[in-house]
Every structure is written in C-alpha cells, then in structure tokens.
Amino acid sequence: MMVNCGLLTDRKESVPLKSNEVQLEVKDHVATVVSTLNYENKEDKPLEAVFVFPLPGDAAVCHFSAQIGQTHIVAEVKEKQQALEEYDDALSSGQQAFLLEESDQSPDIFSLSVGSLPPGESASIRLEYVTELAVQADDGLRFCLPTVLNPRYHPRGNKCFRVHMTSVPASLVPYSLSFSARVSSPRPISKVESNCSLEPLEYLNADQTQATVGRELMAAGHKFDRDVELLIYYKDAHQPTAVVEAGQASAKPGSLMGDPVVMVSLYPEFPQDVMSSLASRGEFVFLMDRSGSMNYTRISSARDTLLLLMKSLPMGCYFNIYSFGSRFEHIFPTSVEYSEKTMEEALKEVEKMEANLGGTEILLPLKHIYAQPCIPKQFRQVKTEMVPNIVLTFGIGAGASSALINGMAKEGGGHAQFITGTDRMQPKVRTICLFALQPAVEDISVSWDLPKGVSSTILSPPITAMFQGQRSLIYAQLTGQNYFEEKVKKLRTEREFVFIKIFKLHLQLSLSSVFRLTVHMLAARTVIRSLESEQRTHRGQQDEEVKKKKVVELSVQSGVSSSFTALIAVNKDVGKAVQGPLVRRNIPTPFYGSDSQICLYFSFYVTGPVVTHEAASPPPRKDPLLQLVSLQKASGCWLLDADLAAALGKASEEVKKAKPASVNSEVWASILALIWLHGFKMDAKEEWELLTLKAASWIKAQNGNKHNLQGTVVLTSVY
C-alpha cells in the first residue's frame, strides 16, 4: 500500500508551497506588505508550482525576488508577452525561472509561477507591495490581507489566466500563514482590532505612536475561512497629513521617479453649520443583484436594509430601483418623485423579487442608468460636460473583489464599505446613506503656493465632491530639481516652505526619505490605473496602443506592476540544466461557501445596496424594529392605529386613550414611535437615526415642538 507523506492536495499530490510569512508595516495611512512564500520540492521529479492568489485591488506590487540556496535573484518588470516568452524559454532550456503576472480581467488576482524546482530543493519567494488604507465609518483605517480566493463570475468566453485554478475547502488549505504588523504614525495609536486572534497591542514608545501586533495564525485557529482584517485607530483622525518624498537618485530628472512627489491626505470634518441640514433633493438609483448565486440570509438582510433606506429618503427627491442578472429590470420606466404611493409600490415589488435572472452582468444596467436624462433641479443637473454622478459601493463576504468595489467607488467619486464576518449590514449602509443625504462640498479647487523655481503636476484624478467622513488623497509631482537637491544635501528632514491650499487649509510639508519611495510607487500606480481605464474606454486601436505603451513605460520605470506587464526572474547561474520533464502542481487556494458573492450599491447621486433574493418566499417580519419602521409614512410620520399599537406592544385603546386632547393624532403617534426607538432600540441607533431625523423634521413642520414635552410626561401611562 502506498503511503503519502507531507502536505497533500485533494488529488493526493504533494504541495510544494509550505508556508506564507506576512509582515505588514503601516506608516500613518500607507501600508507596505512583505510576503515570503517558502517552497520545497519533496518529490523525485522537477516541479513547476503555480499559485493563483488575491491581493488588494489598489495595491502596487513593487518588488519580486527569489532565494535559492545562496543565489538571490531580483525580478525585472517587462512587457507581459515578452516576460511570458522568456519564462517559457527558460523552462525549456532547464533554467529556473519565476514569473508574477496580474490578471487581465481583475487587478486583484495574481499568478505566481515557480519553474524548474529540482527534487529536494527549496526556494523562498519575496513579494512586496504598497497600498493605501481605506477609512471606515468609525474612522478606523482598514487593512485587508486576502486569503480567500473564490471563483469570480466572468462573462462567457472570458478567462483570467492561462493557468488552471485549483481550490479546496478553506479548512483543508495545506500551508501555514503567519502575520505580524508594525504601526507608526505622527499621531498616537488608539487601538488596533482584528477579525483574527492576534497578540495584544504592544506600544514601542511612551507617546504611543509606534506599536506591534502579530501571530502564527494557523496556530491560533485560522482556517483560511476569511480574509485577515486589521482596523487601526488614531487619535485626531481628521487631522490632514502630507509628505514630500525625495526622488530616486538614479532616476532621470523630470521623470516621475526622479522628481519629488507630494502626497496629501484629507479626511475633513466639516463645520456643524454646513452639516446641520440633510439634503431635500437628489436622485437615488438602487441597483440590486438578482443573480442566482445569492443566499437567503444575505437577501433578507439586504431587504431590511433597503426598507430602512427607503424610509429615510427625503420628500422631494426622485428614485428608482433596478435589478440585474443576465438581463436587467427596473420598477419604474424613469425615476419618480418620492411619495407615499411610489414608496409603497416600490417596496411591494422588492418583496416579490427572486434570484432568477441568471448571471451577474452589471455593465448593461449601468450603461442604461447613465444614459437617462437628468432631472431638473436635482443633484444630477449638468454643471459641466460630465454628469456629477456619485457611486457608492458595498463588498459583502470574504473574497469580494476589492478591485471592483474600490474601483467603482473611486471612479464614481464616492465611497466603499466592506461587510465581512458577522458585521451587520445596516450600520454601514447608514454611513453610505449619510453621504447621500448630507450636503456635498463641490467646486473644489487646489492651488499651490510653491517656492520660486518649483512647479507642480497633479497626478491624481480631480476631486469633484467631498463628503463628511470621506478620505481623499492627492498626489503631485514637483519639478525644480536644483531647489530640492540643495535641500536634500542640507537636511532631509528640514521643514520646507511648501504650502498647499485646500478648503482654505494651509499645510506645511516636510521633505522626507523615510518612505523608501512608497509615495512615488503609489503615485505611479494611480497614473497607471488611470491610463488603463482610459485605454479600456477608447475605441480606436491607435489610442489603445498609445495608452498601453505609456502604461508599460511607466510600469518598467517605476517597478510597479500593471495589466500589461509582468515580473520575470531567471536563474542563469545554474551549473547544469534541470533534467527531466516538468510536472505542474497547482497550489490549491481556499474557498469558503458562498461568501465570495459581492453586493454592490450604486446610484446617480447615491447608491443603494445590491439587494438580492432567493427563490423561496421570505417569512413574515417579526423584528419589532422593522415592524415599526415599515409603518412609517414617506413624509416621516406614523398613524395612530392598531398596527402602530401592535408594534409598540400595546393595545390600540391604551395608546389612543393616553393621547392628550390638544395633540394631533399623527404627531402623537410619531412622538410615541420616536420615544420607543430611543427607549428600547438605542443599540440599533445607527440603523434608525436617519428616518427619525426625518420624523423630527415632520413634527417640527406641524408646529409640534410644544407637544414633545407632553408626550414625554405621559410616557409612563403608555409604556
């Protein structure tokens, strides 16, 4: 009987990948990630190990090297087809070669090929990337280490890679994972939280601006059933930060890598008088996923969330609800004015929706939505040749495509939220909804007051609007080499007389070299992604080739990966060729149930959750909160009837009898509803806060302020 030893795949094949060691270094809101993958060939024949894995969609892969014994090989960035040919040629001649390539279809999926690994030999692959940290609803910075790579939906005929992906249940992944993080910031670190069991936060200095966490995750029970998520909280989170990074000494002056680059992070907290009123206009388009892959629990949660959102919309706005799969549908031919009639009609249709529209073709409904004419005096009014639509997105579950979620939000000038593990959808949707209902700061201009002889070139897409709680980054290239050369020679950390004026905000910047060209690489990635996006949207072949050439040139110059390049390393020091035919070993990646599904939230001005539905009919609502919310009228009030009494847990006569004679019935009902929410559902305040603001505004409009005290005084007689 044959006995298999070591780590095995589900096909009883030895797995050459043994471990993945991840080191995270966070500097303020920028992260550098170093991943070391350790391989060992325990078979009696040479192997080619192929590993398909996810990375954050906005990451800039900037280093790839291999260590085989005493030999260290650093990869070069080359045009993708050229790199593929060099890799194949190397394997054909018996040389060891290593190839890292980004998927043509999605920038958050990579393929790592380790070729000609002889029997008994080990290799360590070092992969390094930099990324920006997204800001969450509670001011935390979110870092996500993707460990789950679930099958993604691709239109028929579309292929991600030339390689085959192998998957196993998340609990059976045959390699280990260790993770450690070091955090440093100019501001004190309040706390660090994780969805995995990490060691307690350890501060490294007295002012708490440096700290570490870490753990051997497999030893701590991590089963690759979820991505590793880290939430980092700083004091004075809304304080703007900026840094000017010196250019690379070996790079050509005037090039992006040769000139200094400035990065400004803005996370403004607008004055209360600006934020005191909610928007009373706007067009809200909810795009809902009705493909056949969404589970009942998520659909039920999304339905409840949409109920809360629909009740929170302001009178005078317009809305519509689209749903999609292989085809798309819409409730109304065009967006309609929000009223009791249209709200109820829409909610009834949502309740009947099933997950019966096939695949997940989102492009067609988006094209249809954006082709609709603007509604006068609503937020979609045309101010320039471009329509200022705001796109807000959700990523739900482990394995959601960060490239899609973050990319669409960034392209739409909006915001992205991720809902993982046991997170409740409603609080995060409430944050997204606040973006839509609050006034947006528009007509943003950036002016630079620079020293004589220094000029700036903005590298980031223009900021068209900003919301409370939204973080924006600005990258700019500074030219004036002589000025900066003199300053660098004098003192790299000296305060420079460089000012940026934004929202009447003056920031004094420091010339710094401590980021190791991190800012330059992030700026290069920003330009590369923008060029790639333009290349995909241009129809002319000549334009496409021009954009592709620019991407390849910048990718090679900066060392940052792109969809048109790959990183290739060939070990040319091998004394003799590796003998024997290569055996392919696809490293298995974890999958975890249906958590790979993605819910999105879109709109012209705002977006709504992708509300999904299974074929089975939902059970009747039993949640008292949702029962009460469902009774609220579009205007914001409640009716004093038996349904309200039942939701409050009281008899109808008991509620009506307690009403003071001088108080209007609807005002009294609305006061009771607000008191009940504040008295019994404070733990869910984030879910109902918006609709109660609308109710309070309605009461005030009815001249009902004088009745609030009366309602409170007789509270004991009702509850």
Give tens-digit pLDDT for 618-652. 444 568 888 999 999 999 999 999 999 999 999 98
Do residues 332 and 320 lie in contact, with contact meaning Cβ atoms separated by under 8 Å?
yes
Distance CA 631, CA 647 (A): 9
Residue 287 has a pLDDT of: 83
Q: What is the pLDDT of residue 639?
A: 95
- How confident is the model over 292-310, as a mean pLDDT? 74
What pLDDT does 604 receive?
Answer: 32
Percent of the chain surpassing pLDDT 90? 24
Contact 470, 524 (CB under 8 A): no
> What's the pTM value of the predicted model, to 2 decimals?
0.73
The CA distance from 118 to 120, in Å, is 6
**Which residues on adjacent β-strands are paired with residue 24?**
33, 181
Residues 183 and 256 in one domain: no
Are both 432 and 448 inside the same structural domain? no
Whether the per-residue pLDDT at 500 is higher than 50: the answer is: no
**One domain, residues 406 and 477:** no
Q: Is the separation of the CB atoms in 693 and 278 below 8 Å?
A: yes
Residue reference for tokens 């298995």: 588
- Residue that wins the pLDDT comparison between 309 and 416: 309
Q: Decide which of 470 and 316 is more confident.
A: 316
Average pLDDT, the chain: 76
Residues 302 and 426 in one domain: yes
Identify which has the larger pLDDT, 162 or 376.
376
415 CA to centre of own chain: 8
Q: What pLDDT shows up at residue 555?
A: 95
Return d(Cα 472, Cα 460) in angstroms, integer. 10
- Grade residue 340 by pLDDT with cuts at 50, 70 and 90: very high
- Does 226 lie in the same domain as 93? yes
- Clarify whether residues 313 and 347 are in a common domain: yes
Instruction: Indicate the number of domains in the chain.
Output: 4
pLDDT recorded at residue 408: 75
Q: Give the pLDDT score at 289.
A: 78
* Helix (H/G/I), strand (E/B), else coil: 296: helix
- pLDDT reading at 12 higher than 50: yes
Residue 161 in domain: yes
Q: Is the pLDDT at 424 greater than 90, yes or no?
A: no
- Spatial CA neighbour of 439 closest among 405, 386, 390, 373: 390
Determine the pLDDT at residue 422. 60
Per-residue model confidence (pLDDT) at position 118: 86
pLDDT at 712 over 80: no
Q: What is the pLDDT of residue 346?
A: 94
Q: What is the mean pLDDT of residues 555-568?
A: 94
| pLDDT greater than 70 at residue 663 | yes
Query: Is the per-residue pLDDT at 343 higher than 80?
Result: yes
Q: What is the mean predicted confidence (pLDDT) over 259-284?
A: 72
| Residue 518 contacts residue 61 (beta carbons within 8 Å) | no
Determine the Cα–Cα distance for residues 83 and 89; give it in Å rounded to an integer. 10
Q: How far, rounded to the nearest angstrom, does the alpha carbon of residue 151 sit from its chain's CA centroid?
A: 19
Q: Where among 379, 411, 437 does a domain terminate?
A: 437
Task: Give a yes or no: residue 453 inside a domain.
Answer: yes
> Could you tell me if 140 and 192 are in contact, meaning their C-beta atoms sit under 8 angstroms apart?
no
Residue 115 has φ and ψ, to the nearest 5°, of -105, 145
Amino acid at 313: L
Cβ pair 166, 186 in contact under 8 A:
no
701: pLDDT strictly greater than 50: yes
**Final residue of a structural domain among 393, 409, 437:** 437
Angle at 54 between CA 48 and CA 58, to 5 degrees: 130
Whether the Cβ atoms of residue 609 and residue 302 lie closer than 8 Å to each other: yes
Query: Does 5 have pLDDT greater than 50?
Result: no
Same domain, 647 and 709: yes
Evaluate if residue 593 carries a pLDDT over 50. no
Could you tell me the CATH number of the domain that includes residue 332? 3.40.50.410
Instruction: Determine the pLDDT at residue 195.
Output: 80
Q: Please name which of 529, 487, 544 lies closest in space to residue 510, comparing C-alpha atoms.
A: 487
> Considering the domain boundaries, does residue 291 fall inside one?
yes
- Name the most confidently modeled range: 186-190, 223-227, 388-392, 607-611: 186-190
Per-residue pLDDT tens digits for 380-416:
432 323 334 567 777 665 556 667 777 777 776 666 7
The answer for residues whose C-beta is within 8 angstroms of residue 424's C-beta and 6 or more apart is 301, 687
The more confidently predicted of residues 474 and 599 is 474
60 and 131 housed in the same domain: yes
Residue 11 has pLDDT above 60, yes or no: no
pLDDT above 60: residue 496: no
500 contacts 536 by C-beta, under 8 angstroms: no
Mean pLDDT of 565-582: 79
Residue 690: φ, ψ to 5° = -65, -45
What sections of 296-397 are H helices per DSSP? Answer: 296-312, 340-352, 363-371
205, exposed or middle or buried, with CB in 10 Å at 0-12, 13-18, 19+?
exposed
Tell me, what DSSP letter sits at residue 333?
Answer: S
In a domain, 607, yes or no: no
Domain with residue 98: its CATH number is 2.60.40
Distance CA 9, CA 587 (A): 8
Does residue 598 fall inside a structural domain? no
Comparison of pLDDT for 494 and 317, the residue scoring more? 317
Location of structure tokens 């004419």: 373
Residue 224 — very low, low, confident or very high, per pLDDT cuts 50/70/90?
Answer: low
Beta strands 167-169 and 416-419: pairing type? unpaired
Q: In terms of residue numbers, what domain contains 255?
A: 241-274+443-536+545-550
In this prediction, what percent of the chain has a pLDDT beyond 70? Answer: 69
Same domain, 498 and 529: yes
Q: pLDDT tens across 86-98, in order? A: 999 999 888 889 9
pLDDT of residue 586: 77
Tell whether the model's pLDDT for residue 327 goes beyond 60.
Answer: yes
Comparing 272 with 153, the larger pLDDT belongs to 272
pLDDT of residue 88: 92
> Do 126 and 27 fall within a single domain?
yes
Residue 48 has pLDDT above 80, yes or no: yes
Asked whether residue 380 falls in the same domain as residue 451, the answer is no
pLDDT for res 1: 32
Return d(Cα 132, Cα 58) in angstroms, integer.
Answer: 7
174 and 295 in a single domain? The answer is no
Of 598, 532, 524, 518, give the one whose Cα is nearest residue 563.
532
Would 323 be classed as within a structural domain?
A: yes
**Pairing mode, if any, of strands 283-289 and 318-324?**
parallel
Most confident of 80-94, 128-142, 269-283, 525-539: 80-94
* Residue 259: inside a domain: yes
For residue 613, is it within any domain?
A: no
- pLDDT in the model for residue 150: 53
**Sole residue written with tokens 């006068």:** 376
